Amino acid sequence: MGLRSAQWYGGSDRNAYIHRAWMRRGLPDSAFTGRPHIAIANTASDLTPCNAHLGEVAHSVANGVYEAGGIPLHLPVVSLGETQVRPTAMLWRNMAAMATEEMLRANPIDGVVLLGGCDKTIPALLMAAASVDLPAVVVPGGPMLTGHFRGVPLGCGTDVWRLSEEVRAGTLSQEAFLKSESAMIRSRGHCNTMGTASTMGLLAEVLGMTLPGTAGIPAPDSRLLEAAHATGVLAVELVAHQRRPSAVLSRAAFLNAIVALAALGGSTNAVVHLLAIAGRLGVALTLDDFDRTGSGVPLLVDLQPAGRHLMDDLYRAGGLHAVLAEVRDLLDATAITVTGRPLVDHLRDARVHDREVIRPRTAPLRSDAGIAVLYGNLAPDGAIIKPAAASRHLLHHRGPAVVFDSVEDLHARLDDPDLAVTADSVLILRGCGPKGYPGMPEVANLPLPAKLLADGVRDMVRICDGRMSGTAYGTVVLHVAPEAAAGGPLAKVRTGDTIVLDVAGRRIDVDVPDEVLAAREPASATVRAFATPRRGWERLYVDTVRQADTGADLTFLTGASGDRVSRESH
């Protein structure tokens, strides 16, 4: 099979002349005669601080590509900084995926190396690669090193939530809180907790889309550059063998990712990302697969937010392969990686070097750590909860609802001393789904009322149609579908209604007769909390986004279009 790039560069006509002439810029004649052209899709950006170092990583990739006989081509793509963009990075995940897909398809390239790190960047890149289906491989940017404050290690995100609540409770001074800020981010790289960035970097490898052994290498570690170089070499091999994402990202690979998600104690955001990636490939993956496959999988990694340690500890203790080796019997051995070999073949030499960080199956952190999928009259299409991050005593709970119609409503009333709320109350925040916000922000882990914090309360049952940060913790029911703004029953709940959570029974209900609930009008403030945007991406998003139970992709982006471009540009 000939190179795809030859469709641009081959021949002696005017169009081939134009394509070659404008690309020469010092390239030798051999660059256009049989050498594969490899794009390095790079999400580096100063406004995505977790990815700011990827330029250096790209340089190592390029060296590997050139060494293997390919032509490396740097391709900046849309980058999303989780901590920076408003109203939420999730609003643009699908846009980043669509823009990257179109640039990969439109340009004369034979394969691509995908450089990501921050939360939405790896999912967007994988969605794009799945849709265009050119030979592709991921290099995760890696986590930062652990920072310390007053002798205590700080977990990015997790300790932000914890310390800010201590300030509100009056047990930590504002001055001490602000002093910890400069110690939180010690080095280049993404969050060092088992948040979404770490989770998706690791799951990219479990899915088979990285050079085995790459995911989880800390960003400042020189072994990341070594792996990036080797990935450049591998990219040329992928083109030679025409090994495409559709051959790697099988249903078996996704089920393995669900097993790993539980064993790692990974982010709930992986649910919407894995569903969206699978949707680009036509792989039959549903919300229920997360419960069926993850149920009974033990939590083995003692990392924040579910545990104590951080990502550089995990790498020191043996890394991802050591974890997967512990659950090897739960993995589907038919799933392959970009090497062409089964994932399980790469686990033979895996060893655990620190049993405090990676627990044995006989002594897990928790025996059942899978994402639990809940249904009921509050979530006809499903909702999820992460039991590993929840309080055990709240996993079966009955209490009165305290309802907030928007984030603004929450901020205005939460700390009101007259708010009728107790530790048994169930906090409900609605209007935060894909359409309602728009973009499904990470607000589901509602802060607790100040007066309860002062009384020592540190967790309550919370329900939301939005998401929560993978670095967060608590007894939070999230991704409620359909969302309130799309007419879901969450819009009909009233303050004082009794809410019943039964995680073991996989139920989330409001204890109101069906006929009464059906007759209620949805809260007008929630159904359309904001006017429909008039233009731009936000309008397109609100008009076409799907619900969380299918991955919150856009209706017209599900499926794949391949790499063919039929018409010439001149």
Burial (0-12, 13-18, 19+ Cβ within 10 Å), 131: buried
pLDDT in tens, 486-538: 999 999 999 999 999 999 999 999 999 999 999 999 988 776 555 578 799 99
566 pLDDT exceeds 80? no
* List of residues 6+ apart from 24 with CB closer than 8 A: 31
Task: Measure the CA–CA gap between 14 and 342, rounded to whole angstroms.
Answer: 46
Task: Measure the CA–CA gap between 83 and 183, rounded to whole angstroms.
Answer: 17
What is the rounded radius of gyration, in angstroms, for the C-alpha atoms of the chain? Answer: 24
% the chain with pLDDT above 90: 84
Residue 355: left (phi > 0), alpha (psi -120 to 50), or beta? alpha
- Contact criterion met (CB below 8 Å) for 501 and 400: no
Task: Measure the CA–CA gap between 269 and 468, rounded to whole angstroms.
Answer: 8
Out of 3.40.50.2300, 3.50.30.80, 3.40.50.300, 3.40.50.150, the CATH code matching 372-530 is 3.50.30.80
* DSSP letters for 129-170: HHHH--SEEEEE--BPPPEEETTEEE-TTHHHHHHHHHHHHT
- As a whole number, mean pLDDT of residues 128-138 equals 98
Strand order in the sheet with 71-76: 71-76, 37-42, 111-116, 136-140
- Contact criterion met (CB below 8 Å) for 212 and 321: yes
- Contact criterion met (CB below 8 Å) for 547 and 482: yes
- As a whole number, mean pLDDT of residues 117-138 equals 98
CA angle 158, 119, 458 (to 5 degrees): 20
Burial (0-12, 13-18, 19+ Cβ within 10 Å), 516: exposed
358 pLDDT exceeds 80? yes
State the residue for tokens 């969050």: 191
* List of residues 6+ apart from 164 with CB closer than 8 A: 177, 447
569 pLDDT exceeds 90? no
- Contact criterion met (CB below 8 Å) for 459 and 394: yes
Burial letters 421-450, b for 16+ CB under 10 A, else e: bebebbbbbbbbbbbbbbbbbbbbbbbbbb
- As a whole number, mean pLDDT of residues 385-398 equals 92
Tell me the three state secondary structure of residue 6.
helix
- As a whole number, mean pLDDT of residues 301-319 equals 94
1 pLDDT exceeds 80? no
- As a whole number, mean pLDDT of residues 122-129 equals 98
Task: Measure the CA–CA gap between 291 and 294, rounded to whole angstroms.
Answer: 5
- As a whole number, mean pLDDT of residues 406-416 equals 95
pLDDT in tens, 252-306: 999 999 999 999 999 999 999 999 999 999 999 999 999 999 989 999 999 998 8
126 alpha carbon, distance to own chain's centre:
11
List the structure tokens of 515.
């006929």
- Contact criterion met (CB below 8 Å) for 377 and 502: no
pLDDT in tens, 199-250: 999 999 999 999 999 999 999 999 999 999 999 999 999 999 999 999 999 9
151 pLDDT exceeds 90? no
Burial (0-12, 13-18, 19+ Cβ within 10 Å), 418: exposed
Strand-pair category, 152-154 with 147-149: antiparallel
The pLDDT, as a whole number, for residue 156 is: 86
Across the chain, mean pLDDT equals 94
112 pLDDT exceeds 60? yes
The pLDDT, as a whole number, for residue 471 is: 72
User: Which DSSP symbol is given to 448?
Assistant: P
Task: Measure the CA–CA gap between 388 and 304, rounded to whole angstroms.
Answer: 11
**Domain locations in the chain?**
35-146+186-347, 147-184, 372-530
**Alpha helices (H) in 136-286, listed in sequence order:** 158-169, 174-179, 181-184, 196-206, 222-241, 245-248, 251-264, 269-281
- Contact criterion met (CB below 8 Å) for 269 and 290: no
Which of these, 113, 297, 94, 323, lies nearest to 198 by C-alpha position? 323
Lowest mean per-residue pLDDT among 43-47, 227-231, 442-446: 442-446
Tell me the three state secondary structure of residue 294.
helix
Which of these, 499, 464, 276, 459, lies nearest to 384 by C-alpha position? 464
CATH 3.40.50.2300 fits 35-146+186-347, yes or no: yes
Task: Measure the CA–CA gap between 138 and 210, rounded to whole angstroms.
Answer: 5
397 pLDDT exceeds 80? yes
Instruction: Give how far Cα 165 sits from Cα of 409, 445, 460, 464, Å.
Output: 19, 12, 13, 19
More confident position, 213 or 566: 213
The pLDDT, as a whole number, for residue 203 is: 98
List the structure tokens of 200.
């998706």
- As a whole number, mean pLDDT of residues 352-376 equals 94
Task: Measure the CA–CA gap between 555 and 545, rounded to whole angstroms.
Answer: 6
130 pLDDT exceeds 70? yes
The pLDDT, as a whole number, for residue 77 is: 98
- Contact criterion met (CB below 8 Å) for 469 and 459: no
- Contact criterion met (CB below 8 Å) for 212 and 204: no
Instruction: Give how far Cα 278 sits from Cα of 270, 334, 354, 551, 552, Å.
Output: 12, 17, 34, 9, 12
Give the HSE-up count for residue 122: Cα atoms under 13 Å, Cβ half-sphere.
Answer: 33
- Contact criterion met (CB below 8 Å) for 272 and 551: yes
108 pLDDT exceeds 90? yes
State the residue for tokens 């793509």: 77
More confident position, 168 or 142: 142
Q: If residue 93 lies in a helix (H) or strand (E), which one and from where to where?
A: helix 90-106
Q: Do 35-146+186-347 and 372-530 have matching folds?
A: no
Task: Measure the CA–CA gap between 485 and 483, rounded to whole angstroms.
Answer: 6
List the structure tokens of 560.
């794949």
Helix 196-206 to helix 121-132 angle (10° resolution) is 30
The pLDDT, as a whole number, for residue 388 is: 81
- As a whole number, mean pLDDT of residues 172-193 equals 90
In terms of C-beta distances under 8 Å and separation of at least 24 residues, what long-range contacts does 172-180 make, across chains too? 179/149, 180/149, 180/154
% the chain with pLDDT above 70: 99
Could you count the other beta carbons within 10 Å of the beta carbon of residue 480?
32
Size of the chain, expressed as the number of residues it contains: 570
